Chain A
Amino acid sequence: MSIERDSSILVVIYGPYLSDADINGHEIISIFNDKGLVDESTLEDFYKELMPGQPKILETGHIGYFAQMEDIQKFAFRICQRFGSESVSLVSVEDYNEALVNSFKSDDLLTNLENRGNRIENPDAGKGGFFSKLFN
């Protein structure tokens, strides 16, 4: 099946939390849309809103710590809503790497990421909310 690529999809690459070997959990390694990686301050604002405490790691496109996968899903979906993206595709770093190694063109990679990811649709996409007007 071929999925027509939608440029307004948010992609989240996640992996195990590596900063502290004694703590089990996850981190978002890269979160991006067609404008590139999501900036640090947007990530920080939503993390503070949804998670207890401050992010333990924070830089452009990269944030953690998340105890559960559900936390990442919740966080990613809020960012997706903020940008008015059609959907968010959650991809593990292993799946991302496999998709990349098997892609030869940029478009192939984006299609592969959308196919491989755990995709959550945003029912409010395209309704022209305040944030989508402001940030897109």
Chain B
Amino acid sequence: MLANEVNLSLTTPVLRDEDAVFPGENWFFYWKTSASLWKVKLESLVGVNKIYVPINWAFHSDTGDKYDFASERPETDLKKLVDIARECAKEVIFLVPIGPCPFLTNGGLPALLARTPMLDEKGRVVAAVDQEGNLNKLYSFFDPRVYKAYDHFVKALGEYFVTQGIASDIWSMDCCQVTLDYGLVSYLKDHSHVYQQGFSRFLQNKRSEFDESEDPELQNSLDTLDAETEHILHHEFYTMIKSIYLMASQERMSGNWEGEVKVSFLGGGQEDFFKRIHQSDSLVQYGHDLLEGMSLNAITSSSLIPGRLKKGVLGKMLDQLVTHSFVEKHFSKNSFEDESVSQFAPKVYFEVYDLGPEFLPDTIGWADLGLWDYLQKYYSWCYSDMGSNEFSFNEDSHMDRVFFFHGLNMDKGLFHNMLKAFMSGAKIILNRAGLEREFQKKLEAFFIENELDIEKVKLHTTLVNTRLGDGRLLVFNGDDLVDLDEKKAIEFWHRVISTFDLGHLIVIPPEGVQISWKVRSSNTQELQFEEVRRMGIFNPSSYKKKVKFIIPSHFRLLKVVDENKVSFQHGQKEIECELLPEGSLSLDFGVLV
């Protein structure tokens, strides 16, 4: 057995009631316990002021067309739940799924609607193993009957909230898995025959739209589908269906609706599945997936992972990085913007905008240019993978960030926003490969019109660098980097990024060890510092690991916190720690102005 795996197959897992009801990160599964025990349970959550309650559709409706909100079973009384939570000084935030949920039987669909199992791209039925070792098979949301029933359900739920005067926030929840090749993938993704039928209808509709067009080229384009067009159309169809569910939840519950949140489920990936059916869990993998999920802007849920695995270092990571930092950031968007609040938030140096899923998987993205390998190695998850999200620049909080863009998916709006951000002081790296001729000309004209000094440096590619006040724009051609080996690509990025003087304390951890960084503003006793940064060092492996690093001159060690199974030594310039298996510690550094 690999040493970093925990295999307890010889013991019978016993699920504690608390694990079932509170599966982690202050989530509360109201259907797992009697309503008469809700108060006792919630009172037992000391120091918690928000609980996250996913709505279990199937629990409120066996058939998909009749609903129980406190009319029959007391456990369906969400109003009572909110009232009890208030009595316990807790706020309830409801999460309404917009697709299959891996922690629920049938993915949360009422039994009568669970007709077509979802298939992955390899034709396998999609399933997840829950805390209790149950196999939760997921069923397709591409069945029109499911959509109709969903719309009725969220309408009934919205009306129930209005009639009962429930003021709690509702978030639409997109349940996702972290995958090796495609990052965060929604459980909504399906390849079943129901999906294929829907896609065929979508193509037919497209054809009839195109038939009305007078352009013969357009009319022929759907008859001779090439791989790229087909990929784009699949993406368009998927996005359309997802938006139908999202809009239904938004419109039907508009009074309480706050937005959409992506939730990444540890242990919910298809690769994890084949380990977890043998009760073989990898803490190293979960530690990695937790941080990757955060970098992909998803909230991590450990609800599939048995409580016994969360007693040690994984529990600490979840507690420190997710529950008390990332989740707070997501659901209380203002909490980190108020400087009077000294609360740690994830440290982000880089916002990386990548190609969207509409591009074919073999299109050159940042992964092919070695950027992710570099950032993971040197900046230990201090980056945000923005995917194809909309770019926005905040002069108050984004001045120390570097933004990455591809020319290939640049449109007029993004191009103007990028230049505007540069003029406002943003630091930007643009891969001009695939940038349309129109934008290339505009970029050249922009340099001339603003009389910008251009520096050109040759390093595997021609780097074109210009500055304007605090702003910096560095343009290169990614096509020149594609053939670099991993080592050379990392060296390239290291040389480029070091010119941005980010002032990071670089620690390259040994394999299996994870480093995290959080930041808060300095308080009145720390005015000599610009900010305080907390480095977390976690060893989820089963081996003893050593971490050693030099403290930069502008960093001062303030305190050592949460030492667990670790020996620690530090001099003026160097820190060395030895972490036993499942060892961890956090170090607070003051960063000088």
Which A residues touch B122, using CB under 8 A?
15, 29-30, 62, 93
Contacts A61-B271, A93-B122 given; does A35 touch B1 at CB 8 Å: yes
Which A residues touch B282, using CB under 8 A?
36
Which A residues touch B124, using CB under 8 A?
13, 29-30, 93, 96-97, 100
> Separation in Å of the A5 CB from the closest CB of chain B?
10
- Is residue A42 within 8 Å, beta carbon to beta carbon, of the partner chain? no
5 closest A-B pairs by beta carbon, nearest first, are A36-B275, A106-B277, A32-B274, A34-B278, A97-B125
Query: Chain B: which residue is nearest A94 at the CB level?
Result: B123
Complex Cα–Cα for A105 and B132 (A) = 9
Q: Are A15 and B271 in contact (CB under 8 A)?
A: no
Q: Are A103 and B135 in contact (CB under 8 A)?
A: yes
Complex Cα–Cα for A62 and B121 (A) = 12
- Is residue A1 within 8 Å, beta carbon to beta carbon, of the partner chain? no
Q: Are B276 and A106 in contact (CB under 8 A)?
A: yes
Which A residues touch B278, using CB under 8 A?
7, 33-36, 106, 110
- Is residue A41 within 8 Å, beta carbon to beta carbon, of the partner chain? no
Could you show 6 A-B contacts with beta carbons less than 8 Å apart?
A: A30-B122, A33-B278, A96-B125, A100-B135, A106-B129, A136-B1
> Separation in Å of the B119 CB from the closest CB of chain A?
8
Tally of chain A residues near chain B (CB < 8 A) = 30
- Is residue A60 within 8 Å, beta carbon to beta carbon, of the partner chain? yes
Complex Cα–Cα for A102 and B181 (A) = 29
Q: Are A104 and B134 in contact (CB under 8 A)?
A: yes
B278-317 vs A, CB cutoff 8 Å, 1 = contact: the mask equals 1110100000000000000000000000000000000000
> Separation in Å of the B7 CB from the closest CB of chain A?
8
Complex Cα–Cα for A109 and B122 (A) = 19
Chain B, range 240-290, C-beta contacts under 8 Å to A? 271-272, 274-280, 282
Which A residues touch B276, using CB under 8 A?
106
Show the binding face of B for A, using Cβ within 8 Å: 1-2, 5, 7, 9, 117, 119, 122-125, 127, 129, 133-135, 137, 180-181, 271-272, 274-280, 282
- Is residue A67 within 8 Å, beta carbon to beta carbon, of the partner chain? no
Q: Are A106 and B117 in contact (CB under 8 A)?
A: no
Which B residues touch A110, using CB under 8 A?
277-278
- Is residue A101 within 8 Å, beta carbon to beta carbon, of the partner chain? yes
> Separation in Å of the A10 CB from the closest CB of chain B?
11
Contacts A62-B122, A93-B124 given; does A101 touch B137 at CB 8 Å: yes
Query: Chain B: which residue is nearest A135 at the CB level?
Result: B2
Q: Are B133 and A106 in contact (CB under 8 A)?
A: yes
Which A residues touch B180, using CB under 8 A?
59-60
Which of A7, A33, A105 is within 8 Å of B134, CB to CB? A105
Complex Cα–Cα for A37 and B278 (A) = 11
Complex Cα–Cα for A103 and B134 (A) = 9
Q: Are B280 and A101 in contact (CB under 8 A)?
A: no
Select the residue from A15, A34, A105, A106 with max chain B CB neighbours within 10 A. A106
Contacts A15-B122, A36-B280, A106-B277 given; does A7 touch B117 at CB 8 Å: no
Complex Cα–Cα for A105 and B5 (A) = 21
Which B residues touch A13, using CB under 8 A?
124
Which B residues touch A37, using CB under 8 A?
271, 274-275
Complex Cα–Cα for A136 and B2 (A) = 7
Complex Cα–Cα for A59 and B122 (A) = 12
Which B residues touch A107, using CB under 8 A?
133
Complex Cα–Cα for A106 and B7 (A) = 14
Q: Are A106 and B279 in contact (CB under 8 A)?
A: yes
Show the binding face of A for B, using Cβ within 8 Å: 7, 13, 15, 18, 29-30, 32-37, 59-62, 93, 96-97, 100-101, 103-110, 136
Complex Cα–Cα for A47 and B124 (A) = 23
Complex Cα–Cα for A136 and B3 (A) = 10
Q: Are B135 and A106 in contact (CB under 8 A)?
A: yes
> Separation in Å of the B165 CB from the closest CB of chain A?
40
Which of A61, A109, A136 is within 8 Å of B277, CB to CB? A109
Query: Chain A: which residue is nearest B275 at the CB level?
Result: A36
Complex Cα–Cα for A93 and B124 (A) = 7
Q: Are A15 and B275 in contact (CB under 8 A)?
A: no
Query: Chain A: which residue is nearest B274 at the CB level?
Result: A32
> Separation in Å of the B58 CB from the closest CB of chain A?
16
Q: Are A35 and B275 in contact (CB under 8 A)?
A: yes
Complex Cα–Cα for A107 and B278 (A) = 8
> Separation in Å of the A63 CB from the closest CB of chain B?
12
> Separation in Å of the B101 CB from the closest CB of chain A?
17
Contacts A35-B280, A101-B137, A105-B135 given; does A30 touch B274 at CB 8 Å: yes
Complex Cα–Cα for A29 and B122 (A) = 7
> Separation in Å of the B135 CB from the closest CB of chain A?
6
Which B residues touch A109, using CB under 8 A?
135, 277
> Separation in Å of the B304 CB from the closest CB of chain A?
12
Complex Cα–Cα for A62 and B274 (A) = 13
Complex Cα–Cα for A18 and B501 (A) = 49
Complex Cα–Cα for A33 and B127 (A) = 18
> Separation in Å of the B316 CB from the closest CB of chain A?
25
> Separation in Å of the A79 CB from the closest CB of chain B?
14
Which B residues touch A104, using CB under 8 A?
134-135
Complex Cα–Cα for A15 and B180 (A) = 22
Query: Chain A: which residue is nearest B279 at the CB level?
Result: A106
Select the residue from B7, B122, B133, B274 with max chain A CB neighbours within 10 A. B274
Complex Cα–Cα for A93 and B278 (A) = 19
Q: Are A15 and B123 in contact (CB under 8 A)?
A: yes
Given contacts A7-B9, A106-B276, 18 further A-B contacts (CB under 8 A): A18-B123, A29-B122, A29-B123, A29-B124, A32-B274, A35-B1, A35-B275, A36-B274, A36-B278, A36-B280, A37-B274, A60-B180, A96-B125, A100-B124, A104-B135, A106-B129, A106-B278, A109-B277
Query: Chain B: which residue is nearest A107 at the CB level?
Result: B133
Select the residue from A13, A33, A100, A107 with max chain B CB neighbours within 10 A. A100
Which B residues touch A103, using CB under 8 A?
135
Which B residues touch A60, using CB under 8 A?
180, 271
Contacts A29-B124, A30-B122, A93-B124 given; does A35 touch B2 at CB 8 Å: yes
> Separation in Å of the A93 CB from the closest CB of chain B?
5
Which B residues touch A96, using CB under 8 A?
124-125
Which A residues touch B123, using CB under 8 A?
15, 18, 29, 93, 97
Query: Chain A: which residue is nearest B180 at the CB level?
Result: A60
